[in-house]
Amino acid sequence: MSEIIVKPEFDEKFEDDVRKAITLNEREGLKSFVAGLEANYHEQVHHETIVRPLYKKKWLMMAASFLLLAAAFFTFRTMSSSSPSQLAGQYMEAYPNGYRPITRGQSNDADAEWYALTIYEAGQFEKAIPLFQDLPDQNSDIRLFTAVSAIETDDLVLAKKELTQIISKKDRLLKPAQWYMSMVMLEEDNVDAAKKYLQTLADQPETASYRDKAMEILKELN
Amino acid sequence: MSESLLTEDQRATITELYNDNRDRLVGWLISRGKDKTDALDLYQQSVLAVTERLVKHGIDHFRQGLPAYLFSVMKYMYYLSLKKKGDKSVDPLEDEKVLNISADIEEFMLEPDDQIVNLRQKMQELDKKSYEMLRLFYYEGKSMREIAAIMGYSSEQVAKTTKYRVLNKLRKMIKNT
């Protein structure tokens, strides 16, 4: 038997206020994401200034020993392209922290999640892993940071465990989880499994994340 | 409530938009007398406004393309900031290029009154499912039929009834303060 519901008389003003209140609530979350974009932007610029000279140096070294390497290189090319684990090394990058960006001047030492992310952003992955694992809220973001830290420290068993959990949830972190799972598979020389994840990412629409990189790796593997 | 509202594609879109336009648009503001901090604040506010529109209305909302829309939003906000400081030489509404986004930004720029501040506080006391129901309807603009499907209600009518209950509860909470 259905319950009789008396509809309250909600005036338009009240509903409009509810709409505005929710918009402001949601905006708070978006604000932290946008604040993180500036940090990401600087990270990129910083990364380029550091990496470029190294590439140059590496190129000079390669050029100097070109004659010695050429024979080995071509022999290697005839057998296969870069090895799977080499490809993983080329493409592996830590997942950026857009989840809860750490901004300069922020001080919240009592917050374990904030502290773990600070350590992660500092590239201290080995130290970050137990900090993430101790957090009470093991959501997909935290699991992904744990997995990435595990890959960075060659703990592929832990990485697979965390990524499997995220993939099974099929939430918004499905694609990054598939991407990092493909990195794990490449590290393990499990080419077939890596291809499976990469193909899923490559089959996405043109503008989708990871699509281009997945296609590049697949090309190398085939 | 949280940035988890953004899909991975939306995050990638906004990140690319931010990086590709940052120097040019911040430079545009600096060339008009803003100092770097203010210029960056205004740029980030504009990106925030665009992000909000993207979440609420999807990519199809931006017929003129995201970079052009972002520039229009930023110009509109810039003109408003001049007007606020008493500069009467520029009226944002007279700039035809920004006319079509003024309605979008109007809501974004509104200052919350006491009633809304109170509502936001009371919303914290709602259970997760009740809040999600309101969020889907008032923020994402989903129909009751869609909400019923998303939240697993047996029918559109059940979803409607639940929404009324939640609103009623919220109103009672406000009255009791």
Read off the pLDDT of residues B101-129 as tens digits, 9 standing for 90 and up. 777 777 777 777 888 888 998 888 888 88
Say whether B2 and A175 touch across the interface (CB within 8 A).
Answer: no
For residues A20-34, b (16+ Cβ closer than 10 Å) or e, as one string?
bbbbbbbbeebbebb
CB-based contact, A28 to chain B, within 8 Å? yes
Strand ranges (DSSP E) for chain B? none
For the B114-175 domain, the top CATH level (class) is: mainly alpha
Percent of chain B with pLDDT over 90: 28
Cβ-nearest to B11 among A19, A35, A98: A98
Beta-carbon contacts below 8 Å between A and B: 122
CB-based contact, B157 to chain A, within 8 Å? no
DSSP B137: I
Provide the pLDDT for residue B58: 81
- From CA A112, how far away is CA A109, in angstroms rounded? 7
Q: Hey, CA dihedral for B161, B164, B169, B172, is it positive or negative? A: negative
Provide the pLDDT for residue A47: 54
CB-based contact, A175 to chain B, within 8 Å? yes
Q: Hey, CA dihedral for B57, B62, B66, B72, is it positive or negative? A: negative
- From CA A47, how far away is CA A34, in angstroms rounded? 20
Instruction: Say if CB B50 and CB B69 are below 8 A apart.
Output: yes
Cβ-nearest to A14 among B40, B134, B171: B171
Provide the pLDDT for residue A116: 84
Burial of A110 (0-12, 13-18, 19+ CB in 10 A): exposed
Instruction: For A171, name the nearest residue in chain B, comparing CA atoms only.
Output: B7
Predicted confidence band of residue A75 (pLDDT cuts 50, 70, 90): very low
* Chain B positions in Cβ-Cβ contact with residue A21 (cut-off 8 Å): 112, 116, 119-120, 123
Say whether B5 and A35 touch across the interface (CB within 8 A).
Answer: no
**Backbone conformation region of residue B113, classed left if phi is above 0, alpha if psi is from -120 to 50, else beta:** beta
Provide the pLDDT for residue B143: 92
- Closest-CA residue to B137 (of A27, A9, A15, A28): A15
CB-based contact, B116 to chain A, within 8 Å? yes
CB atoms within 10 A of CB A11: 10
Greater pLDDT, A199 or A4? A199
**Backbone conformation region of residue B33, classed left if phi is above 0, alpha if psi is from -120 to 50, else beta:** left
Amino acid at B8: E
- From CA A31, how far away is CA A21, in angstroms rounded? 15
- From CA A148, how far away is CA A180, in angstroms rounded? 7
Predicted confidence band of residue A85 (pLDDT cuts 50, 70, 90): confident
The mean pLDDT value for A107-128 works out to 75
Q: What mean pLDDT is reported for chain A?
A: 77
Distances (CA, A) of A176 to A126, A143, A170: 21, 11, 11
Which of B138, B161, B169 to mutate to probe the A interface, most A CBs <10 Å?
B138
CB-based contact, B11 to chain A, within 8 Å? yes
Provide the pLDDT for residue B80: 81
The mean pLDDT value for A68-97 works out to 65
Predicted confidence band of residue B152 (pLDDT cuts 50, 70, 90): very high
Provide the pLDDT for residue A95: 84
* Chain A positions in Cβ-Cβ contact with residue B121 (cut-off 8 Å): none
The yes-or-no verdict on residue B8 having pLDDT over 70 is: yes
Where in chain B are the domains?
3-109, 114-175
CB-based contact, B3 to chain A, within 8 Å? yes
CB atoms within 10 A of CB A108: 11
Say whether A35 and B44 touch across the interface (CB within 8 A).
Answer: yes
The yes-or-no verdict on residue A9 having pLDDT over 90 is: no
CB-based contact, A17 to chain B, within 8 Å? yes
DSSP B92: G
In this prediction, does ipTM exceed 0.85? no
Provide the pLDDT for residue A32: 80
The mean pLDDT value for A129-156 works out to 92
Burial of B75 (0-12, 13-18, 19+ CB in 10 A): buried
- DSSP string over A180-193: HHHHHHHHTT-HHH
Instruction: Say if CB A145 and CB A128 are below 8 A apart.
Output: yes
Which of B8, B105, B110, B163 to mutate to probe the A interface, most A CBs <10 Å?
B8
The mean pLDDT value for A167-194 works out to 92
The yes-or-no verdict on residue B3 having pLDDT over 60 is: no
